[in-house]
Homo-oligomer: A and B are copies of this chain.
Amino acid sequence: MKDLPVSPLAPDCFPDLPDVAGVEASCSRIGLYRHVRDELLVVRLAEGTAVAGALTRSQTRSADVAWCAAGLKEGRARMLVAHAGNSNAFTGAAGEAKNAATVAEAVRLTGCRQHEVFLSATGVIGVPLPPRTVADRLETAVAALGPPDWEAMARTIGTTDTFPKGAGARLDLDGTPVAIVGIAKGSGMIAPDMATMLVYLFTDAAISPGLLQSLVSQHVDTTFNAITVDSDTSTSDTLLVFATGAAGHALIEDAADPRAQAFSQALHGVMQDLALQVVRDGEGATRLVTITVEGAASDLSARRIALAIANSPLVKTAIAGADANWGRVVMAVGKSGEPVDTSALSIRFGGVWTARDGGAVPYDEAPIQAHMNGQEIDILVRVGAGGGQARVWTCDLTHGYISINGDYRS
């Protein structure tokens, strides 16, 4: 990770995370960075591991993302090879050649099928790497596989991150203890020389690829697709969830199975924890902002309104200035283009209503200013157009963001 000051919103320490049966990992150095740091993460997964995921919708997605998309269709995984320092995006045939060499070597070393190998890369866009950059390091990395050091793994994939991100849960599925652990990196939605969002979750639960995918798709909307730092979309964003089945319980394949519901709840908790850590490490962030929209025409409409507020530079700079500028929230609601009854529009900062039923209301300055001076800002907006609701998270827009992304020359 880069030598930036740790975000003021960072957790006190990396959490204590459980082991996950069927998962081995190693962290090692390729040399893509001038300074000494590990940037190659290799994970080997038990035979029969199910995989599900979510990938960037970018029209200029990287070769690695395209490769993962093909693998997700088959639903099985044996190996994850991820590196920081070069995104392998916009690298054309050279990028595909690099991936082919990496996959061939992984297949040779583990005896798995091609599409059981998953690839990720993050870093500079448009700089092709020699084809065997990763392949030539794989044998050593595989020889070093052992019990996962989750914090080291999170650090290995980090770029502009100012702290390593991890979260986990333990649950009991009809007497079988099961673990879920996730690691993530990301601080801007993207910065080609630096950042993107990569998220990997590992569990020893035994769950079918189809059910796993449906749970991931459901939860990603309320977690990783409900956060925004700067509205920019990475070419490389990748979320993968690996279920090794090594916990030993009978396979879960029916969504109505009570174990599926328990697992789903725990999975959602880990995904949400990681997503909020990404926002807490937003470039230049000094405040974590939770935006809740109620009374929209639909849940989707509520999400669009919430994201219009969360992505508004004027709302985000006001929050940076500890200013409960609800007029800018009115503006952002309007800009969403979604149905709104302005005569019912109400806005609350912290616990204090600043506008109700279409107009300003008098309020005490002291409690609202105390809330705005804090690190966690809550904005509730009711738009009076129906029963739809949504919640999204963002951070403020500060001089720090400009400094990280603008104060240098290439």
Write the residues of chain A forming the contact surface with B, with a CB cutoff of 8 angstroms: 56-61, 89-92, 94, 124-128, 188, 190-193, 230-235, 311-314, 317-328, 330-340, 342-343, 345, 355, 358-360, 369, 396-399, 401-403, 405-410
Contacts and interface: CB of A to CB of B under 8 A. Distances in A.
Tell me which of A94, A191, A360, A402 has the highest count of chain B C-beta atoms within 10 A of its own C-beta.
Answer: A402
Contact of A58 (B331, B355, B410): B331
Q: Which of A312, A339, A340 has the most CB of B within 10 A?
A: A312
Nearest to A339: B59
Nearest to A368: B410
Nearest to A407: B321
Contacts of A190: 314, 328, 331
A394 to B, nearest CB: 12
A192 B57 contact: no
State the main secondary structure of chain A at its contact with B. loop
B355 A126 contact: yes
Contact of A342 (B60, B311, B312, B323): B60
Contacts of A399: 399, 402-403
Contacts of A233: 331, 334-335
Given A190-B331, A335-B233, A359-B91, A402 B410 contact: no
A59 B340 contact: yes
A235 B330 CA distance: 8
A9 B13 CA distance: 47
Contacts of A314: 188, 190-192, 230, 232, 405
A321 B408 contact: yes
A121 to B, nearest CB: 13
A191 B328 CA distance: 7
Given A90-B355, A188-B314, 17 more contacts: A56-B334, A59-B334, A60-B330, A60-B334, A91-B359, A125-B331, A126-B360, A190-B328, A232-B335, A233-B331, A234-B331, A322-B409, A323-B406, A324-B410, A397-B402, A399-B399, A402-B402
A155 to B, nearest CB: 24
Nearest to A400: B402
Contacts of A318: 405-406
Nearest to A190: B331
24 contacts: A58-B331, A58-B335, A59-B336, A60-B330, A60-B334, A60-B345, A90-B342, A92-B358, A126-B355, A190-B328, A190-B331, A191-B328, A192-B328, A231-B311, A231-B312, A232-B312, A232-B314, A232-B332, A233-B331, A235-B330, A314-B405, A321-B406, A397-B406, A401-B402
